[in-house]
Amino acid sequence: MRILLLTNYANGLWLFRKELLLAFMEDGHEVSVSLPPDENADKLRALSCQNKKINLIETPFERRGSNPVKDLGLFMTYLRLLKQERPDVVLTYTIKPNLYGGLACRLKRIPYLCNITGLGTAIEDGGVLSRLLLRFYKISMKKARCVFFQNLKNKEFMVQHGIAAHNHKMLPGSGVNLKEHPLEEYPSEEKGIVFLAVIRIMKDKGVAEYLEAARIMRDRYENVRFKLVGEYEEETREYYEPQLKELTQKDILQYLGHIEDVGAVMAQSHVIVHPSYHEGLSNVLLEAAACGRPVLASNVSGCVETFIEGESGFAFAAKSTDALVAAMEKILAMSHEERRDMGISGRAWVEKRFDRAIVIQTYREQLLSLSRVKNDARG
């Protein structure tokens, strides 16, 4: 089959779906990917299997912009792309590809599978824009072969609004590659306990709460250290960059920016913190559990599914610095062995429920079903 993927970010595809792309090629499918051009696209270009390579189609668009003229341009680009590539099936990820790509596929009567990786701030915040987006989703998703949801709350919310009520399935997020993220030995705490957050530098990821919690905890305890990994969203750089420079200069926090090997930093840390306001299903928390680290995470759907409360992590109220500090103090009160054992429990949890092989198999089943329908139509 000719498979076309529509997505908004090359690095996300590389980090969380490269195994899926390779599986498609192993199965003999031709794979094309439409995405905005950036430095991460070269990683995907290098992927090959059985002498097959991915066909990358650079498709510029604003990931977070809401300019209707530019969005109309993206929709028209997708229509032209469908005519040019003539795919047998289209896979869409993230909000704009789901909405504009889904609608284009519906109009062109091309089978498509959508993946709701999260609802996004515009829908979560409610209001007029939320209502408009929900109507758009209803139109775009109506003829999808399948709409995948990554957590039950997102699914229930969308189905309640008449979206994908009869054509949805659940996925364990993007899953986690258990070989690429092995169980790591829990590090010594002789030089202090390291808290690590791996988040994009933006409000909805809970950056403000994490920074303030670091200030408070460093003032109260001598044996704690804080690290932050993540890249700026350009619209937030001006606000957060001075704060991070100040905290770094005061030795309150170490900011590592965007790094390729997050797993290595996780392995050197003792507790992974994820203060996000909302998630589809957190890849960071899956990888933290896979490498055997206890987690502290916001008590929201998309986070709480990734750990067992009290056994492999603790939840705290989102948007609350006080709740985050209390969770940090709770895990500090435990012994080295107890924290280590929490990490081991987390590994067992993701092995059972979040192996990326589950995601690959689910997509394979959908493609097999589509292939049968296509063959029946020919016969």
pLDDT digits (tens, 9 = 90+) for 337-360: 999 999 999 999 999 999 999 999
Write out pLDDT tens, residues 237-286: 899 999 999 999 999 999 999 998 899 999 999 999 999 999 999 999 99
Task: Measure the CA–CA gap between 16 and 302, rounded to whole angstroms.
Answer: 16
Q: Give the pair of three-digit tokens for residue 364.
A: 């394979």
> Is residue 379 over pLDDT 70?
no
Task: Measure the CA–CA gap between 286 and 16, rounded to whole angstroms.
Answer: 11
Task: Measure the CA–CA gap between 268 and 276, rounded to whole angstroms.
Answer: 22
Q: Output phi, psi for 307, to 5 deg.
A: -150, 165
Mean pLDDT of 69-92: 94
Mean pLDDT of 33-43: 87
Torsion angle (degrees, nearest 10) of CA 216, 218, 325, 223: -160
Q: What is the pLDDT of residue 149?
A: 96
Where do the H-state alpha helices sit in the chain?
A: 10-26, 41-45, 68-85, 95-96, 102-108, 121-124, 128-141, 152-160, 207-220, 234-249, 262-267, 283-290, 321-332, 336-353, 356-378
SS3 labels along 353-364: HCEHHHHHHHHH
For residues 66 and 301, the model is more confident at: 301
Q: What is the pTM of this model?
A: 0.92
Distances (CA, A) of 189 to 129, 180, 225: 48, 25, 11
Which residue in the block uniquely carries the two structure tokens 């939840």?
Answer: 315
One-letter identity of residue 313: G
Lowest mean pLDDT among 9-18, 55-64, 153-162: 55-64
Q: Give the pair of three-digit tokens for residue 45.
A: 């270009």
Which CATH number fits the domain 193-353, given the four candidates 3.30.1360.70, 3.30.380.10, 3.90.226.10, 3.40.50.2000?
Answer: 3.40.50.2000
Write out pLDDT tens, residues 89-144: 999 999 999 999 999 999 999 999 999 998 887 888 788 889 999 999 999 999 99
Classified as helix, coil or strand, 44 is helix
**40: confidence class by pLDDT, cuts 50, 70, 90:** confident
Q: What is the pLDDT of residue 121?
A: 79
Q: What is the pLDDT of residue 124?
A: 80
Q: Which of 123, 177, 130, 170 has its CA nearest to residue 150?
A: 170
Domains 2-175+355-378 and 193-353 share a fold: yes
> Is residue 37 over pLDDT 90?
no
**46: confidence class by pLDDT, cuts 50, 70, 90:** confident
Mean pLDDT of 228-242: 90
Mean pLDDT of 138-158: 95
**82: confidence class by pLDDT, cuts 50, 70, 90:** very high
Q: Give the pair of three-digit tokens for residue 4.
A: 């076309």
Task: Measure the CA–CA gap between 379 and 105, rounded to whole angstroms.
Answer: 24
Q: Give the pair of three-digit tokens for residue 91.
A: 């896979």
2-175+355-378: CATH class: alpha beta
Q: Output phi, psi for 199, to 5 deg.
A: -150, 150
Q: What is the pLDDT of residue 376?
A: 64
Task: Measure the CA–CA gap between 213 and 372, rounded to whole angstroms.
Answer: 55
Task: Measure the CA–CA gap between 116 and 94, rounded to whole angstroms.
Answer: 6
Lowest mean pLDDT among 124-133, 170-179, 221-230, 295-304: 124-133
Q: What is the pLDDT of residue 26?
A: 94
Name the burial class of residue 377, with classes exposed (0-12), middle (13-18) and buried (19+) by CB atoms within 10 angstroms of its CB: exposed
Please state the domain extents for the chain: 2-175+355-378, 193-353
Task: Measure the CA–CA gap between 362 and 104, rounded to whole angstroms.
Answer: 24
Q: Output phi, psi for 346, to 5 deg.
A: -65, -40
